[in-house]
Amino acid sequence: MLPSLTVGLLTYPLWRRIAPGRFLVADGFPKLLVSTHALGKAEPVCHRRCRLYWLGIRQVVIGILGTQILLDVARAKGVRRFVQVSTDEVMGSLHDEQAFFSEDSPFCPNSPYAASKAGAEHLVRAAHHTFGLDTVITRCGNNYGPHQFPEKFLPLTIAKALNNEPIPLYGDGPNVRDWIYVDDHCRAILQVLKNGRPGAVYNIGARNERRNIDVAKSVLDFLGKPHSLIQFVKDRPGHDRRYAIDPSLVERELGWHPRETWSSGLRQTIEWYMKNEVWVERLRSGAYRAFHGREVGAR
């Protein structure tokens, strides 16, 4: 079986398509506690849950304490492998435009989200070193694809472009992110789950650096919309300038390579959102906005 206790909202629907099996999804601390009791002996665990917009103590409880609970249960149940799905954000911002994150890059998290993910990584590494738990850590960049919530940059850009609404862009849009199609990320995690070295860390990336402004322009060009829809807004505090991943290790050791190019992945993503505008609008409705406002209102 290939259960996932805490698969994110973007990856979950596609993960089921790529690797059918038993899945347990915990969205929040109470459910996390419940789902640990459902974990069977010797089943592998893939853990990634940590919402970007959780704040303060909740970020720490879910991101760090939640990870420790899962590690404790994994040890008690004799789980054969624990995969921690982390993020390139734990390594901070790259100031050298020619540099790339490697598995040995030092930690330098610049947001509460990244700090909680870094803390979780330390706990996973300690569980392997101290107790011999078979753990592997993956770090990935910006995922995109179907089913991603419209609060995120790419689906938000698509939805607003389809409605001819202004597209907000932080600063003047120079921030660089390393984009990967979600199916490719899921396949990489499965390779790590099956064949990764115990105790190893793998950076997963598609060698696809894009400035935010160029991402927005790509969407507008695909839809035949004017670039004038882009509206620059005040930059957010602590906005990291550039992320870029060197995926040489996972390519070399596990033979993984992305299947989708930026063009093919973006086309599939935009076409999905065009066919599912009702789904998008439902999530952008008053009920969803009220929930989202409660979560991020203090930010």
Q: What is the pLDDT of residue 31?
A: 47
Indicate which residue of 43, 88, 121, 183 is catalytic. Answer: 88
At position 57, the amino acid (one-letter code) is I
Q: What is the pLDDT of residue 102?
A: 96
113 is catalytic: yes
Within its chain, how far is the Cα of 103 from the centroid? 17
User: Cα–Cα–Cα angle for 232, 233, 239, nearest 5°?
Assistant: 110
Alpha-carbon gap, residue 246 to 227, rounded angstroms: 31
Indicate which residue of 27, 43, 72, 89 is catalytic. Answer: 89
With bands split at pLDDT 50, 70 and 90, how would you rate the model's confidence at 6? very low
pLDDT reading at 32 higher than 60: no
Q: Which domains does the chain have, with CATH numbers?
A: 11-234+241-296 (3.40.50.720)
89 is catalytic: yes
Alpha-carbon gap, residue 273 to 161, rounded angstroms: 11
Reading the block at residue 277, the tokens are 């505008």
Tens digits of residue pLDDT in 48-98:
655 544 456 666 777 888 889 889 888 988 888 899 999 999 999 998 888
Indicate which residue of 27, 72, 97, 113 is catalytic. Answer: 113
Alpha-carbon gap, residue 36 to 127, rounded angstroms: 17
**Average pLDDT estimate for 25-47:** 53
Q: What is the pLDDT of residue 148?
A: 87
Tens digits of residue pLDDT in 152-200:
899 999 999 999 999 999 988 899 999 999 999 989 998 999 999 999 9
181 is catalytic: no
Tens digits of residue pLDDT in 201-250:
999 999 999 999 999 999 999 999 999 999 999 988 878 999 999 999 99
